[in-house]
Amino acid sequence: MPKTFPFPQDLLDAQAALRETRAAYEEYAKTLPWSAEPMPGWESDKQLHSNYISAKPDSPGYTEEQAAEVARFRARLLELSIAVSTHLYWAALSGEDVVAARMALKHVHEPAEA
Helices assigned H by DSSP within 3-95: 9-29, 64-85
pLDDT digit string (tens) for 18-45? 999 999 999 999 999 999 999 999 888 8
pLDDT of residue 112: 75
Coil vs helix vs strand at 60: coil
**pLDDT tens, 62-94?**
999 999 999 999 999 999 999 999 999 999 999
Q: Which of 10-19, 46-55, 82-91 has the lowest mean pLDDT?
A: 46-55
The rounded distance, in Å, linking the Cα atoms of 44 and 17 is 40
Confidence of residue 14 (pLDDT cuts 50, 70, 90): very high
Cα gap 14→53, rounded to integer Å = 43
> Whole-prediction pTM value?
0.85
Is residue 5 over pLDDT 80? yes
